[in-house]
């Protein structure tokens, strides 16, 4: 009798504590809804002005609040707005020509790639080879950072898309951006406002094909 009353009391106390005091890991069903309904918005469909500097700081801070083995912070972010995106577009076009990838005409068209959305974040994996944490694990952390930024942007009311493509692997582009040979571009993340166009839902993976409950055999 006593123990069941005690456990009920403990349970209620725990609930009350969680509801009123706790500032972390709060039960937030709306956050789960957001994870299950988030869609990328094509960068070319975004409109301006998009997130301002204060909003971008919030988004980037969410990007840095990720699991990170060894607390190495093995990433950095380059935020481009305005003319910087045009300069990146020119660099991409120059890279396409220098690396014999395409004709001048197509390279010219690619100049607008970086100017698709109003804000572009180049997410860079910047692992440390001197630390005992495998580089692969450090690279996983930038993936988490990118996804956190997309989710944060969505939660704050902005559209976002994670792209890579030829430019993220180009030596001309990475060198021109001051990215060292040990670093990698994990993504060009575009942020903006939603335009008129509703982003279509893509087919989602078949749950059972990707989940195994228990050990094989």
Ligand X SMILES: Cc1cc2nc3c(=O)[nH]c(=O)nc-3n(C[C@H](O)[C@H](O)[C@H](O)COP(=O)(O)O)c2cc1C
| Segment holding 123, helix H or strand E | strand 119-125
Q: Which of residues 18-47 bind ligand X (CB under 6 A)?
A: 39-40
DSSP string covering 23-35: -SS---HHHHHHH
- Which one of 94, 163, 193, 195 is in contact with ligand X (CB under 6 A)? 163
Q: How far is the CB of 49 from ligand X (least distance, A)?
A: 22
- Which one of 75, 77, 158, 162 is in contact with ligand X (CB under 6 A)? 162
Q: How far is the CB of 216 from ligand X (least distance, A)?
A: 28
Angle 30-151-28 from CA coordinates, rounded to 5° = 20
Contact criterion met (CB below 8 Å) for 159 and 46: yes
Q: Tokens 């005992």 identify what position?
A: 132
165 contributes a contact to ligand X by CB under 6 A: yes
> Residue 40 or residue 112: which is nearer to ligand X going by CB?
40
> Residue 108 or residue 139: which is nearer to ligand X going by CB?
139
DSSP string covering 140-197: HHHHHHHHHHHHHHHHTT-EEEEE-SGGGG-HHHHHHTT--TT-EEEEEEEEEB--SS
- Which one of 187, 190, 191, 192 is in contact with ligand X (CB under 6 A)? 187
Within 10 angstroms of residue 167's Cβ, the number of other Cβ atoms is 24
202 contributes a contact to ligand X by CB under 6 A: yes
Q: How far is the CB of 142 from ligand X (least distance, A)?
A: 10
Q: How far is the CB of 151 from ligand X (least distance, A)?
A: 10
Considering only 25-33, 46-54, 72-80, 160-168, which stretch makes contact with ligand X by CB under 6 A? 160-168
Beta-bridge mates of residue 120: 80, 190
**Site of interaction with ligand X (CB under 6 A):** 39-40, 161-165, 187, 202
């Amino acid at each position: 009798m006593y123990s069941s009353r005690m456990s009920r009391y403990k349970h209620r106390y725990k609930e009350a504590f969680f509801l009123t005091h706790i500032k972390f890991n709060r039960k937030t069903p709306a956050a789960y809804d957001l994870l299950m309904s988030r869609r990328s918005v094509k960068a070319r469909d975004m409109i301006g002005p998009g997130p301002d500097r204060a909003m971008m700081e919030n988004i980037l801070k969410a990007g840095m609040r990720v699991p990170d083995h060894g607390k190495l912070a093995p990433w950095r972010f380059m935020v481009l707005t305005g003319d910087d995106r045009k300069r990146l577009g020119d660099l991409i076009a120059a890279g396409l020509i220098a690396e014999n990838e395409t004709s001048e005409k197509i390279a010219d068209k690619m100049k607008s790639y970086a100017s698709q959305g109003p804000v572009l974040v180049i997410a860079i994996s910047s692992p440390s080879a001197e630390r005992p944490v495998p580089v692969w694990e450090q690279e996983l952390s930038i993936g988490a950072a990118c996804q956190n930024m997309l989710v944060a942007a969505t939660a704050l009311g902005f559209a976002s898309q994670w792209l890579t493509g030829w430019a993220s692997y180009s030596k001309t582009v990475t060198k021109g951006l001051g990215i060292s040979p040990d670093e990698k571009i994990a993504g060009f993340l575009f942020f903006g406002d939603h335009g008129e166009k509703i982003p279509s839902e893509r087919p989602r993976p078949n749950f059972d094909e990707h989940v195994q409950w228990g050990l094989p055999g």
